[in-house]
């Protein structure tokens, strides 16, 4: 390739870059993937390669395709992305450029080599790309015709291009994530309002059917005792029974009001509140709830309340869905990391949790965890049971 060819190609690239950057400013967020594809197609022609792709490093440290294009008659790149031993992942993560002119075996695995040879690839170029000081992924391209050498100026220019595209792509994925979160927020607030109605109805029913009836019965019994005293026929046993019934009623009312507004967290601390809730649910159902709670530091009240609500939703789910016998509630704090698990031995979930749309208990658990930079995961192993697992890094301002 002659020097003049390279320099004319680079000045053409310069002009193209300034046009494209202006165009990207105008593009709607939703159209970014299409615009990126068009840009790569134009770059492919400009740099005289047969196909191109942008691949990105995921949070899990694997590679995934972001965008790829190929000239007519050439298949889109099929890099062995999932292979953690693959040459691409190792080099890209280390920020090494792979510029292969002769398809040599020392930079690719035998399978990759064989695949490329069969396809007719003559030369490969893979340039790692950084966004905000961190490796984002890479731009890759292949030539299928006569090739001299990948020039350094060319590599530098293409990397800058790719860096620009990668930054835009990151903004796009952030936008997608925010849009998804907004949708969930709308669903969540609707769900909260509906739940409030359901809870109010349940509360009014509980007050009417349970407490009002029991109070009415008590006042009749108390009236009978008054009559008996007036007639001097008072039976101590009757008075004792009345006293016990009043005690029971007072206890049940206290438990109900505490579960509605857990002042118990402030009074006795989170550990006691969680244990009390386990006892309350255990008494109402046939569940054996095993509560293993580490001594806890004094947590911020909003975090403590969230953990309490997470327990309530999880136990509610066990009661509603699990047909379980045992529930294990485990809360530990190790190395400034709080881990909270609610596991049951019930029927578990046959389908993928991701298919369960429209139910918001688990979504609300996730939201409550994310408020404190934590992670929530839900798992239903093949042998049955359901596991809710929360981890929250305890930062200084999460302590009271």
Ligand X SMILES: Nc1ncnc2c1ncn2[C@@H]1O[C@H](COP(=O)(O)OP(=O)(O)OP(=O)(O)O)[C@@H](O)[C@H]1O
Give the residue, chosen from 128, 262, 346, 374, that forms a contact with ligand X under the rule CB under 6 A: 346
Kindly state the smallest distance separating residue 271's Cβ from ligand X, in Å: 23
Kindly state the smallest distance separating residue 342's Cβ from ligand X, in Å: 8
Which among Mg ion, ligand X, none contacts residue 166 (Cβ within 5 to 8 A by kind)?
Answer: none
Give the residue, chosen from 132, 320, 354, 357, that forms a contact with ligand X under the rule CB under 6 A: 320
Q: Is 187 in the site for ligand X (CB under 6 A)?
A: no
CB nearer to ligand X: pick between 262 and 346 = 346
Which among ligand X, Mg ion, none contacts residue 318 (Cβ within 5 to 8 A by kind)?
Answer: ligand X
CB nearer to Mg ion: pick between 241 and 356 = 356
CB nearer to ligand X: pick between 241 and 356 = 356
Where on the chain is the footprint of Mg ion (CB under 5 A)? 317, 361
Which span (68-76, 203-211, 242-250, 340-348) binds ligand X, by CB under 6 A? 340-348
Which among ligand X, Mg ion, none contacts residue 360 (Cβ within 5 to 8 A by kind)?
Answer: ligand X
SS (H, E, C) the chain: CCHHHHHHHHHHHHHHHHHHHHHHHHCCHHHHHHHHHHHHHHHHHHCCCCEEEEEEECCCCCEEEEEEEECCCCCCCCCCCCCCCCHHHHHHHCCCCEEECCCCHHHCCHHHHHHHHHHCCCEEEEEEEEECCEEEEEEEEEECCCCCCCCHHHHHHHHHHHHHHHHHHHHHHHHHHHHHHHHHHHHHHHHHHHHHHHHHHHHHHHHHHHHHHHHHHHHHHHHHHHHHHHCCCCCHHHHHHHHHHHHHHHHHHHHHHHHHCCHHHHHHCHHHHHHHHHHHHHHHCCCEEEEEECCCCCECHHHHHHHHHHHHHHHHHHHHHHCCCEEEEEEEEECCEEEEEEEECCCCCCCCHHHCCCCCHHHHHHHHHHCCCCEEEEECCCCCCEEEEEEEECCHHHEC
Give the residue, chosen from 264, 386, 390, 398, that forms a contact with ligand X under the rule CB under 6 A: 386
x-or-dash pattern for ligand X, window 265-304, by CB under 6 A? ----------------------------------------
Q: Is 362 in the site for ligand X (CB under 6 A)?
A: yes
Q: Is 318 in the site for ligand X (CB under 6 A)?
A: yes
Q: Which residues bind ligand X (CB under 6 A)?
A: 317-318, 320-322, 344, 346, 348-349, 356, 359-362, 386
């Amino acid at each position: 390739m002659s020097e003049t060819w390279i320099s004319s190609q680079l000045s053409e690239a310069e002009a193209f870059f300034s046009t494209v950057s202006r165009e990207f400013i105008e593009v709607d967020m939703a159209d970014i993937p299409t615009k990126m594809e068009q840009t790569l197609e134009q770059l492919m022609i400009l740099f005289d390669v047969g196909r191109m792709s942008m691949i990105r490093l995921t949070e899990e440290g694997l590679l995934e395709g972001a965008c790829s294009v190929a000239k007519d008659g050439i298949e889109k790149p099929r890099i062995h992305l999932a292979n953690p031993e693959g040459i691409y992942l190792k080099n890209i993560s280390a920020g090494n450029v792979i510029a292969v002119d002769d398809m040599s075996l020392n930079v690719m695995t035998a399978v990759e080599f064989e695949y490329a040879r069969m396809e007719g690839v003559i030369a490969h170029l893979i340039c790692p790309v950084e966004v905000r000081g961190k490796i984002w992924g890479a731009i890759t391209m292949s030539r299928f015709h006569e090739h001299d050498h990948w020039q350094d100026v060319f590599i530098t220019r293409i990397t800058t291009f790719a860096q620009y595209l990668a930054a835009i792509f990151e903004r796009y994925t952030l936008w997608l994530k925010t849009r998804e979160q907004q949708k969930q927020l709308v669903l969540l607030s609707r769900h909260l309002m509906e739940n409030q109605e359901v809870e109010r109805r349940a509360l009014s029913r509980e007050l009417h059917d349970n407490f009002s009836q029991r109070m009415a019965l008590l006042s009749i019994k108390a009236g009978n005792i008054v009559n008996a005293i007036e007639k001097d026929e008072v039976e101590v046993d009757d008075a004792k029974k009345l006293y016990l019934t009043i005690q029971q009623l007072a206890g049940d009312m206290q438990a109900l009001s505490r579960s509605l507004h857990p002042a118990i967290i402030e009074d006795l601390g989170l550990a006691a509140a969680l244990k009390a809730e386990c006892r309350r649910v255990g008494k109402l159902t046939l569940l054996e709830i095993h509560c293993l709670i580490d001594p806890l530091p004094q947590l911020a009240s909003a975090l403590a309340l969230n953990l309490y609500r997470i327990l309530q939703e999880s136990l509610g789910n066990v009661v509603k869905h699990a047909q379980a016998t045992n529930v294990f509630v485990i809360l530990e704090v190790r190395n400034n990391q709080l881990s909270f698990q609610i596991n049951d031995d019930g029927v578990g979930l046959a389908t993928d949790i991701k298919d369960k749309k429209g139910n918001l208990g688990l979504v609300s658990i996730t939201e409550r965890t994310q408020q404190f930079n934590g992670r929530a995961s839900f798992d239903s192993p093949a042998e049955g049971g359901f596991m809710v697992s929360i981890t929250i890094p305890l930062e200084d301002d999460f302590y009271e």
